[in-house]
Amino acid sequence: MTTTSDLHVVDTRPLVPPAFLHQDLPIDSIATKTVSLARKRIQSILKGQDSRLLVIVGPCSIHDIEAAKDYAEQLRPFRDLYADQLEVVMRVYFEKPRTTVGWKGLINDPHLDGSYDINTGLRIARSLLLDLARAGMPAATELLDPVVPQYIADLISWTAIGARTTESQTHREMASGLSMPIGYKNGTDGTAAIAINAMQAASKPHHFLGINQEGKASIVSTTGNPDGHLVLRGGKSGTNYHCEAVNSVARELELVNLPGRLMVDCSHGNSNKDYRKQADVLRVVAEQVKNGSQHVMGVMLESHLVEGNQKLVSDLSTLSYGQSITDACIDINTTANLLEELASSLL
């Protein structure tokens, strides 16, 4: 008999309902306080009620849980040291958008071997976020798959909608229902129009298809998320972290009645994909802040224990501890120096 469905599907496996993971790994009062306070502080920074800068800093992606915890322990003293100038939030990215193919992140392939044990990936991700929140370290991530927020969003203080997905209606709808502040990255072409449209769209109510806590297909209705902001990450048209670019984009925001406050991603197009140039970008941004710019509300840095990156190989025992397997990162010592420079720009 001829069939017309699932012609390219070779397997389907049950997905653990979000409620099961929440029951096994429940958020407690300590973790709730960490997440809630960080969200409130970020909202205040975004609105200009808090003069500090938001700093999203951490590995390009998480592939080793112990290294991630180690990084958090080494970052925590700087979060405390510069608390009067900076709101430091650890970058904890579990999903990696791909231009073509490649490792898609810890949730998708937690064993790094192509087994795609997504149920385990979700459990590992939630467990790490819970440990970080209990230790007082708020987390930031990029939400890529619209199903994933049901599993981990209660433990996230800030999230990004990436350059490749900012134009997606599905992601704008998802963002409209998220509970934390959101940074919308400019498109890969380097222009801000798509991200500005996304901010406007996601601030409105939406109705779309999703899942509920029991994992059942549902119609989701949202209020809209008012806490969106732009993230300048450069692109094909060049960098956009210089004062002229920042001021120009701020005017674009204000023309559509959005706050002219934004974040600069020191990596990606702004560093021309050279991790070492993140320092140059940050110093230019810090100078703008020092000169009184009211448009910059934060920065993003890709940082890990060890600088650079390495290729994912089949023999996982040969991987260097604390080094990225995706984009190259600056090391923790360089990070410490840059955080000091950025904090000094606010004194």
Fold of 18-344: TIM Barrel (3.20.20)
Long-range contacts of 36-39 (CB under 8 A, 24+ apart): 37/138, 38/87, 38/89, 38/138, 38/157, 38/158, 39/157, 39/158, 39/179, 39/180, 39/181
Strands 228-232 and 217-221: unpaired
Please report the pLDDT score of residue 175 as a whole number.
98
Q: Provide the β-strand partners of residue 88.
A: 55
H/E element holding 265?
strand 262-265
CB 182 within 8 A of CB 175: yes
Query: Can you give the pLDDT of all 347 residues of the chain as single tens digits?
Result: 789 999 999 999 999 999 999 999 999 999 999 999 999 999 999 999 999 999 999 999 999 999 999 999 999 999 999 999 999 999 999 998 877 778 999 999 999 999 999 999 999 999 999 999 999 999 999 999 999 999 999 999 999 999 999 999 999 999 999 999 999 999 999 999 999 999 999 999 999 999 999 999 999 999 999 999 999 999 998 999 999 999 999 999 999 999 999 999 999 999 999 999 999 999 999 999 999 999 999 999 999 999 999 999 999 999 999 999 999 999 999 999 999 999 999 98
Domain boundaries along the sequence of the chain: 18-344
Residue 29 to residue 184: CA distance in whole angstroms: 30
CA 198 to chain centre: 16
Pair of tokens at residue 333: 């010592």
* pLDDT for the residue 100: 73
pLDDT of residue 1: 78
Per-residue confidence (pLDDT) for residue 59, from 0 to 100:
98
Global confidence as pTM = 0.96
pLDDT of residue 60: 97
Predicted local confidence at residue 345, as pLDDT: 94
Other CB atoms within a 10 A radius of the CB of residue 135 amount to 14
Euclidean distance between CA atoms 303 and 332, whole angstroms:
7
| Phi, psi values for residue 162, rounded to 5° | -75, 170
With CA atoms as reference, report the closest residue to 198 among 235, 164, 166, 161: 166
Distance separating alpha carbons of residues 182 and 141, to the nearest angstrom: 10
State the Cα–Cα distance between residues 59 and 90, nearest whole angstrom: 8
Q: Supply the pLDDT for residue 165.
A: 94
Question: CB-side exposure of 72: number of CA atoms within 13 Å?
Answer: 24
Tokens coding 323:
């080094």
pLDDT (0 to 100) of residue 2: 86
Strand partners, 55: 88, 299
